[in-house]
Amino acid sequence: MSSITRAAPPLRPRGEGLKALLWMSPWLVGFAVFFVYPLAATVYFSFQRYDLFTLEFTGLDNYRYFLHDDRAWTSIKNTLWLVVFMVPAQVLFGLAVAQLLTRLKAGAGFFRTVFYLPSLVPLVAGTVSFVFLMNPSGPLNQIIEFFGVAAPDWFGDKDWAKPGLTLLAMWGIGNTMMIFLAALLDVPKHLYEAAAIDGAGGWRQFRSITLPTISPVLMFSTVTGVIYALQYFTQAMIASRVASGVTDSPGSAFVPGYPEMSTLTLPQWLFQMGFRDFSMGYACVLALLLFAASMIFTLVLLRQFRALTDDEGGNR
């Protein structure tokens, strides 16, 4: 009867754990200072009435006020609209443009530059230009009316304001397009050749070869797009301000959301409560809600993409 002797695991040098902590200390310090402490402070201030000068414990009053805050719920609905409609439109349009650019035989570099340039334009300048471009008498509406179609008042009508912001997001798909372009160019050519020999058409090749291969990039673009939409602030704020024509001059105060609160997003309402009305405690409640929504959406998307990848791997 033979006995199998197992080699004893090598002894770890004394102090190896301490050395690892020492190397990780810059990250640990940054994580504690810039994430753990702000998160803990936000939770603490959410139970307070805090206006930068006075601090008074109010328990769950801020949370109860949130349940009856109509504008907060309106901002949540608008933000979810952007997640559901703007993010898929931006991702699909970026993927379609990248797919088109991979098929170009001549002028590919020129068209890549053309589609990428809008992403280099500063957000404020690009949004202001877009609002003027899409105003009722602007070039876009004149082109639409040329074909006999009634042109909408993009940023003056509550039903068209969010679609207008979606078009603005699709105009600036340069970064997303370049990421997809790099992923598409990295797909092995011999897979397409083998599929063509087997009689697979273009759509079959795209569904069975392209999508599974670029699925990590698709997941990255979708997750980052959702997080970006949940934090959507600058474009909506500037577009509503320019379209309304209201300034913060004496006797008038701009409230984000024009027209009729249709462009009010959760980050804008958080900003309004915290830095205009100085209701810091209530703003902390909104910040925690935004953080929780980002975490939930990210975890759900990662799980869905992982399940989709596992199913495709099993089918292959």
Residues 111-133: what's their mean pLDDT? 90
Q: Which residues contact 140 (CB under 8 A, 6 or more apart)?
A: 133, 134, 151, 154
Cβ(65)–Cβ(56) below 8 Å:
no
- Per-position DSSP letters for 246-260, written without gaps between them: ----TT----SSTTT
Residues forming beta bridges with residue 56, ordered by sequence position? 49
Residues 241-252: what's their mean pLDDT? 72
**267 or 109, which is more confident?**
267
Rounded CA separation 34/128 (Å): 33
Q: What is the pLDDT of residue 252?
A: 61
Q: For 224, what's the count of Cα atoms within 13 Å in the CB-facing half-sphere? A: 12
Q: Over pLDDT 70: what percentage of the chain?
A: 90
Q: How confident is the model over 141-156, as pLDDT tens digits?
A: 888 888 888 888 889 8
Q: What is the pTM of this model?
A: 0.86
